[in-house]
Structure 1
């Protein structure tokens, strides 16, 4: 039992550092929170949390070892992630001031610019599911931190915790960024922030390719 609590504490601390550091998930949530209603940002955050389960499942099945023993498989993941982030980034830098008219509590003034809940969830889910940073995190977690002798049930509970904690973190971030006071302060240049985050996503995408 002591080993289990030690593992959980280590996992929780490492996850806190990982989820708080800037990355594709953070950039996407910030972009959505500034240009979409609050509920869409929350659905995107939930999608990111559920996306964690992809990494949890392949880690529990031992498939994560393939990333370590089969370099080309990880390279494919890098390229898929880079292309997807590049696509999102290019769309973001084309943001216009119309995105500022999104209402925080109701539908946007221009319905064509408002994402559906399903689209927001899908955006978060795919962004995290393709996130190579998350892949490396879980590869390290299940090969270094978590003992092979740890029961499968406990490993599953760790995964559920990580997915839940991630989703809650980004949901809280979404609520903060879509608070009326925060929105009023940034409303006049929200589209520039959107473009900036689009540029960040493009830089992340290109860095994945360059580092490869």
Structure 2
């Protein structure tokens, strides 16, 4: 296959995958609601950079090792589920802030951004299903004759495209028209995200046991 047809197939498949709701979406939504645009964007960047981990796994063969070694796959799954449960319990305990607390949340965007970046990176990086997705992408769609330089371009694109998608989502979720409402009523969304993260963690655990 030549570069462009192969690239367009990869881009199309990736777009469908990244647009599907999952842990990454929940993380971005939670930080957008609770801390605002800056934190949500940092979470998006963390998610995008974590994509490079999965691409690296696929290129050097670690992805094959994870997919063919049950205990290693289970270990990644348990770690991912545990982290999602940790995030879920924090979100479920969200309380309605008063005006001063709402302002304080907005002003805490800088330290929250660092946590958001780490949360995005770990959530995506520990997701074994994401590793399997990229492994399948590189094994099925990308030809064995494709040069390594092209594969590296694909990997960088997938990382940038993922970040761009979630940054766009962050911009939509933190539109000024709804920001005031989110600051005061966002704890309901926070709790909802806590439930979603809890269900995702349980689903992940259920799928491996």
The question of a shared fold, defined as TM-score above 0.5 by the shorter chain, is answered with: yes
Report Cα offsets for 1:85-115 as digits up to 9, x if no partner.
0110111011112298545xxx63674x874
CA 1:36–1:185: 2 relative to 1, 3 Å:
closer
Q: Who is 2:86 aligned against?
A: 87
Q: TM-score, normalised by structure 2?
A: 0.91
Cα RMSD (Å): 2.0
- Whichever structure has more helix as a proportion of its residues is 2
Q: Who is 1:190 aligned against?
A: 186
Q: Who is 1:211 aligned against?
A: 207
Give, in whole Å, the separation in 1 of the partners of 2:51 and 2:5. Answer: 22
Q: Who is 2:76 aligned against?
A: 77
Alpha-carbon deviation of 1:117? 2.8
State the 4+ residue runs in structure 1 displaced beyond 4 angstroms: 99-103, 185-188
Number of residue-to-residue matches in the alignment: 207
1:40 matches 2:39: yes
1:167 matches 2:167: no
Q: Who is 1:56 aligned against?
A: 55
1:13 matches 2:9: no
CA 1:102–1:165: 2 relative to 1, 3 Å:
farther
Unmatched 5+ residue regions in structure 1?
Answer: none
SS of residue in 1 equivalent to 2:2: helix
Give, in whole Å, the separation in 2 of the partners of 1:7 and 1:99. Answer: 53
Report Cα offsets for 1:47-93 as digits up to 9, x if no partner.
11111111111111121111232121111111110000011011101
Query: Any conservation in 1 of the 2:33–2:174 contact (CA below 8 Å)?
Result: yes
Report Cα offsets for 1:14-56 as digits up to 9, x if no partner.
1000000000000000000000031111111111111111111
